[in-house]
Amino acid sequence: MDFTRKVVIIGAGNVGSHVALNLMVGQYAEEIVFLDINEAAANAQVEDLKDMLTATHRHVKIRVGTYDDCKDASFIVMTAGRSRRPGESRLQMLQSTFKILGGIVDPIAKSGFSGFLICVSNPADVVAEYFYRNLDLPRTHVFSTGTSLDTVRLRRHIASIVDVDRDQVDAFVMGEHGDSSFIPRTHVTIGGISLDEYQRSHPELQSKLDHAYLTEKVHKAGGTIVAGKGSTEFGIGAVVAMLIASILHNERLVTPLSVHLEGEYGEEGVSVGVPCILGRNGIKEILTLELSEEEKKAMRSSCKVLRDALASIS
């Protein structure tokens, strides 16, 4: 497809504004359009971001628009919805998020949008599947950030524990972007060395590199931030910009995204976080990792959690 470098961001709150900020700083967009039921707040975000543009000598057109703007947009980023409350799981946001989705999906469909839809609103996996089922777009074009942010957090935690650069850690978090996600341990490496081998040569780190410990750190990371400041925004804003950059520049980034499965990992009819190659045409390939029996069980369990959630709003 021909790219217009036009991005429509639905929701001008903390996450939407930080997505816009990262797109501007990285110069990944020529035009950014906010859609929000609170037009006064959206216009205020625009004015604030225009100040930033002037100070940093960036040249991006940013404004508040309408759903007609989706027609020639290359990207829609779905961030609408309230922030997660302290102690609340992402799935507990299901009902409040879905109250607003019906008023969003129809105007997107009527606009003639044919680009890439990136879902961020929680529960992100369920939202991605909802949009895939209700928009006439290929599954390679409709996905959520899934466990990409969880993966960033995992790599950061491991790098901090072993005291290496974060780029030396390869690891994935898979499954739900939530409490049923899991870490495929056999695919974690530090400088090319498997996690098990690294533990054997560094017994003093055994407990901190324990699978249960790392999983708990990932599961609690977002909630800890929410408890301290009320929302997460910087990390996810950067992740969305990273995904858009990979499509624009055909970087073929390998990262887990929540995409509708059609038999991969023995699952279908659900969007869930799996490693993907992301390039010019969206999801180029879903990578099928070899999982242990325990990891296969975790994948089935995570998909069941998401199917149950979907059933509750169908």
Catalytic residues: 177
Q: Which helix (H) or strand (E) holds 13?
A: none
Contact 264, 21 (CB under 8 A): no
Per-residue DSSP letter, 185:
G
* Whole-number Å distance between alpha carbons of 179 and 186: 20
Q: Give the largest Cα separation in the chain, rounded.
A: 59
Q: Which of 181, 159, 160 has the alpha carbon at shortest distance from 169?
A: 159
Distances (CA, A) of 138 to 193, 246, 247: 37, 18, 15
CA separation for the pair 76, 60 (Å, rounded): 17
Class of residue 150 by CB neighbours under 10 A (exposed 0-12, middle 13-18, buried 19+): buried
